[in-house]
Structure 1
Amino acid sequence: MPPTKRQKTMNDSGIFLESDNDTSDAESQRPHKSDKTATNSLTKQGRTPGPYEYICFHRPLFDVDGSNWREWSDGKAERMEQEELFFDVYQPGFEKESKAGIFKASPAEHKDHKWIIMWDAWLKKDLLTRKAKYCDPDAFGLNMATDWKGWGMQEIVETTLVEFDQGFQKKTEQRLDEMWVIISALGLWLNENDHIMALIANEDGDTTCELIGLVGCALLAVLGAIDRAGALKPDARYLDLPLVIGYYLELSHDLPAYGIERQCVSWRKQAVAFFKKGGLDAQKALFCTEVRLEKLGNSPNDEGDTGPSVELAPADANKENEGPNHKSDETTKNDEKETPGKKRKRAAKPKASENDPWGWNAKFKAYKKRQGSRLGGQRYDITKMSRKDRAAAAYDGKDPLARFSLKDLREDCIDF
């Protein structure tokens, strides 16, 4: 039986306009899969980096928590409570680095600081964090369906993959950067707070499994493109390769325990193969990436179609800006046609092309076709509901966002 909804008012949530928060609060993040809500708005101080420029940021709270858990499980440390971990370990480190001017600084100025990300990816992650809050009825004191937040997470991931696909289809100099921004932001965001748990706990298990498979396919698609461009190596264009691959190995390492297994997570082996092919350093990734690489490289739960061998992907810097080859889509279109009076056959395995060896094009098109008008959108975004509907769902019968303008609600300016 689902837990009883806890009544919570807007004042309890501390909802405010993002523009009202001028302090440099510790970055809001939550330990992996079992934590409370603790997020903050983007720090607004110092210089404004360029769109695809790398910046330094503070070590995520989920990694601090995971490291403590590992030391405790090895008998090397006491297991710290969440609040103790945040205030005694995480926040002092954040404040020290903030005073030293590390946040938003160029990695060239702090060569030993491994926590780096593209500026646009950081902004995207910050937006995803706010959008996730907007789908949480408890945060607004609303009495709504138990799976509302989970459906919202599915909606957010779908919308993000639509953006990834838009970058995938381009043939511009920024094509790889645009895809990498999405993959980097999505991986970090899914590990924070309870985002991945809310996603996999909603009642639409089949769609969730397929969506996790698509997320993995997107990761392989951009890693393959980076490989073909000759940039799958340390100290090349994409400085956070170890971290980003580490994000996805971390968020997926225990998914089979939640029923998401086999082909839905078969991409993990190939992600491990890319990591090894690039000669990447696990010490520049998460606290447990080295262990994940060893275990997931030969996981028995990853049976299914894993795509082409990573070793077969040739490096060619001239292919960096090439979009996908659409010729292979004809096979998929023919397979989707149904003959009246005959039982529908299972669609043939999507054929890969030279520029799309993981079949992203066909897989995402098939997913979009099945989802139809349900794909993405903002149906579960509480800030986009009418004031009347929010008031009707509120425990006190009042719209918790009554003091905010429609403009602020439309432009995702609410934070808490």
Structure 2
Amino acid sequence: MPPKRKSTDAPGPAKKSRAASPSLDEEKDPEITKILNKRWSRVSVTRNADEGFRLDNRDPVKAFTFTCFGRAPWFFPGYEDDEENDLDESDEELEDYEKEEMEEKRKNKEEANPASILKPAAEFPDEKWIFTHAGIRRFSAYTASTTVRDAENFGLQVYNDSYGYGIIELVENMLVDFEEVKADWKKQWAVCEGVAIYMQGDTIMPMIGCECGDEVNELCHAVVDMFLSLLAQLERKDLLKPDSEIKNIGAVMGLFIRFIIDVEGSGIDWEDHEFKIKAYAAKHDITIHGLTGKRYTTPAKEGIELPAATDKDPWGWNKLFGSLRKEKGKHFGGDSTDITSWTPAERKNHAYGRKDPFSAKDLAEIKKGGIIGPA
């Protein structure tokens, strides 16, 4: 039985909380607005989260500055402490995986450094979990866009798997984000960082358990193929090496591998994706981080052949992305499952008591660029 992932589920309608970020009204950028209008509804939290990301990362130097995360991305201190108190390692009834999980939590806790959170990585040279400023902001934007896709958390009843389909839409947006910046490998790296961090929590699981199994399997493949395509590009640019200017290659590799292994137990059928990433690491002498515990320390697999570094699209990413987008047309990605993009009448139609979960104050906040979600 695989270890549990962090749960963010909340029973019943949740209270709402507003982000402590300032209104975006005073920072509007005409060029960014054009992009937003092409991708999003006129009003939605998804749009606001994307706009906040874009405004904050206009300076390319700031965007590619490495920042400390302060902990392993799958380690959630408050939640982990509560769960650890419920277990006793001396209990003979504990299964081996539970004891192993407890040991990993202790190591994660010892490794975490709250004092380094969001501080420049240059000030903490021994910090393992560092990401670019843009990568962390990508992750934050994806997280903000997640809560507003869980209709039940706001007291709305839509249909079975509505949350799962919402996460599918969000993951499709991640692929679009990557393709949108294909002319800039640094921006693509930030997308992969954000995706890799996001996949460590349980927010991806509603998608994994969705009834459309084949679509989910294909989308999971696309996420990792996206990363493989970037690794191939970095190899061509001679950036896959221990002393690369990309200081967290091994960390991001490890996070993608953890994602692969975590969802494999839920029915995702991989095609040696884990070993392809490991083959790149072995070829270029890169140390992979985060593969602790027996389930993540799988032996290398022989016979994994990497494409020639000169190949421009060795993993078929361009064809795959084009196929996925063509299949769903205008319904690929977007914010239609973000309930803040709905009209008040649409929300009332799905609400208990036919009452919009958002007050006039909430809606005004969203229209001004605010982020709102369950508390």
Q: Give the TM-score, by structure 1 length.
A: 0.67
Give the Å deviation of 1:137.
1.6
| Residue in 2 that maps onto 1:36 | none
CA distance in 2, matches of 1:18, 1:225: 38
Match of 1:167 among 181, 188, 202: 181
CA distance in 2, matches of 1:255, 1:76: 18
Change (3 A) 1:412 1:221: farther
Change (3 A) 1:384 1:359: same
Give the Å deviation of 1:212.
0.9
For 1:312, give the aligned amino acid: A
CA distance in 2, matches of 1:387, 1:76: 46
The secondary structure found in structure 2 opposite 1:146 is coil
Matched, 1:376 2:333: yes
For 1:196, give the aligned amino acid: I
Match of 1:313 among 306, 309, 314: 309
| Residue in 2 that maps onto 1:53 | 65
| Residue in 2 that maps onto 1:286 | 290
Q: Which digits, 9 at most, give the CA deviation of each residue in 1:315-355, with x for residues without a partner?
A: xxxxxxxxxxxxxxxxxxxxxxxxxxxxxxxxxxxxxxx21
Change (3 A) 1:93 1:120: same
| Residue in 1 that maps onto 2:125 | 111
Matched, 1:240 2:230: no
The secondary structure found in structure 1 opposite 2:320 is helix
CA distance in 1, matches of 2:301, 2:364: 51
Matched, 1:298 2:301: yes
CA distance in 1, matches of 2:111, 2:283: 34
Give the Å deviation of 1:390.
1.4
| Residue in 2 that maps onto 1:120 | 134
| Residue in 1 that maps onto 2:46 | none
For 1:117, give the aligned amino acid: F
CA distance in 1, matches of 2:347, 2:100: 44
For 2:273, give the aligned amino acid: W
CA distance in 2, matches of 1:129, 1:235: 31
Give the Å deviation of 1:125.
0.4
Change (3 A) 1:61 1:229: closer
Give the Å deviation of 1:8.
2.7
Give the Å deviation of 1:63.
3.6
Between the aligned residues of both structures, percent identity stands at 24
> After the TM superposition, which of the residue ranges 197-206 and 58-67 deviates more from structure 2?
58-67
Larger radius of gyration: 1
Q: Give the TM-score, by structure 2 length.
A: 0.74
- Counterpart contact for 2:163–2:206, Cα < 8 Å: yes
Give the Å deviation of 1:140.
0.8
Give the Å deviation of 1:406.
4.6
The secondary structure found in structure 1 opposite 2:21 is helix
| Residue in 1 that maps onto 2:15 | 13
| Residue in 2 that maps onto 1:342 | none
- Counterpart contact for 1:131–1:412, Cα < 8 Å: no
Change (3 A) 1:370 1:185: same
| Residue in 2 that maps onto 1:331 | none
CA distance in 2, matches of 1:298, 1:73: 28
Structure 2, gaps ≥5 residues long: 1-8, 23-48, 53-58
The secondary structure found in structure 1 opposite 2:63 is coil
- Counterpart contact for 2:225–2:317, Cα < 8 Å: yes
Give the Å deviation of 1:126.
0.4
| Residue in 1 that maps onto 2:269 | 261
Change (3 A) 1:61 1:360: closer
Match of 2:314 among 357, 368, 371: 357
For 1:197, give the aligned amino acid: M
Change (3 A) 1:408 1:14: closer
Match of 2:344 among 354, 362, 387: 387
| Residue in 2 that maps onto 1:330 | none
CA distance in 2, matches of 1:400, 1:93: 41
| Residue in 1 that maps onto 2:205 | 197
CA distance in 1, matches of 2:19, 2:240: 41
Give the Å deviation of 1:61.
6.0
CA distance in 1, matches of 2:150, 2:189: 28
Give the Å deviation of 1:289.
7.7
CA distance in 1, matches of 2:123, 2:179: 34
Matched, 1:212 2:220: yes
| Residue in 1 that maps onto 2:55 | none
| Off by >4 Å, runs of 4+ in structure 1 | 64-69, 71-80
| Residue in 1 that maps onto 2:147 | 133
Q: Which digits, 9 at most, give the CA deviation of each residue in 1:114-170, with x for residues without a partner?
A: 1100101111100100111010122212112121111011101111101111222x2
Q: Which digits, 9 at most, give the CA deviation of each residue in 1:367-386, with x for residues without a partner?
A: 11111122001111011111
Q: Which digits, 9 at most, give the CA deviation of each residue in 1:257-314, with x for residues without a partner?
A: 3222144xx32221111122221223xx21528863534x439xxx9xx8xx327326
> After the TM superposition, which of the residue ranges 108-117 and 391-400 deviates more from structure 2?
391-400
Q: Which digits, 9 at most, give the CA deviation of each residue in 1:56-86, with x for residues without a partner?
A: 01214624659979x8765895977xxxx89
| Residue in 2 that maps onto 1:270 | 276
RMSD across aligned C-alpha pairs, in angstroms?
Answer: 3.6
- Counterpart contact for 1:255–1:261, Cα < 8 Å: no
Change (3 A) 1:311 1:78: closer
| Residue in 2 that maps onto 1:408 | 366
| Residue in 2 that maps onto 1:187 | 196
